[in-house]
Amino acid sequence: MLRPFALLTLVLLASCATLPQLQPPGIALKRIDLLQLGFDEQRFGLELEVTNPNSIPLPITGIRYGLTVSGIELGNGASTETLRIPANGTTRVQLELSVNAVRLLGQLSEWTRRPPSDLSYLFDSEIDVELWPRPLQVSREGRVPLRIAPGAFSL
């Protein structure tokens, strides 16, 4: 006769084996907008393209993310917006990143004087999926255009 703990372990292992394989979504950073450049706060808008490689819809319940641009760690952010990415589909997502770092002002000032056409980036994220036991880890490197919004400067 199996002991209760051993029986529970077997049941848990069997239930894990029946979970469908869930592929992490593809993420591409499509644009960075400099929304506000001030002494006490710098705000960036991020536009992502999220692609679901799975044959079932992907109900995202939260995203935690970090962004490094041109070798400079801009910061981290989080969104609890609920998204539903269709099966084998793509959705555009808008995120915001606030940075309170005086050390970035020199680089930001340079970008405003001579805006680069594009920037290299590293986007790291953890994506929470409804009813999924653990976050999906997604990282992406690439190049992205920088756009400076009208009225972004409040120095």
Mean pLDDT by 10 residues, the chain (155 residues): 50 53 93 81 89 96 92 88 96 88 68 79 95 94 84 62
Query: How do beta strands 58-69 and 118-129 pair?
Result: antiparallel
Q: Give the type of residue at 25.
A: P
Per the domain annotation, does 154 fall within a domain? Answer: no
For residue 3, the 8-state DSSP code is -
Per the domain annotation, does 14 fall within a domain? Answer: no
Per the domain annotation, does 17 fall within a domain? Answer: no
Indicate the number of domains in the chain. 1
Per the domain annotation, does 81 fall within a domain? Answer: yes
Task: Tell me what pLDDT residue 121 has.
Answer: 92
What's the CATH number where 82 sits? 2.60.40.1820
Task: Tell me what pLDDT residue 148 has.
Answer: 75
Task: Tell me what pLDDT residue 6 has.
Answer: 46
Task: Tell me what pLDDT residue 36 has.
Answer: 83
Task: Tell me what pLDDT residue 100 has.
Answer: 59
Per the domain annotation, does 10 fall within a domain? Answer: no
Per the domain annotation, does 27 fall within a domain? Answer: yes
Per the domain annotation, does 123 fall within a domain? Answer: yes
Q: How far is CA 100 from the centre of its chain?
A: 19
**Interacting residues of 155 by C-beta distance below 8 A, sequence separation 6+:** 37, 38, 39
Task: Tell me what pLDDT residue 85 has.
Answer: 96
Task: Tell me what pLDDT residue 119 has.
Answer: 86
Per the domain annotation, does 44 fall within a domain? Answer: yes
Copy the structure tokens of residue 6. Answer: 């051993």
- Write out the residue range of the structural domain in which residue 41 sits: 22-147
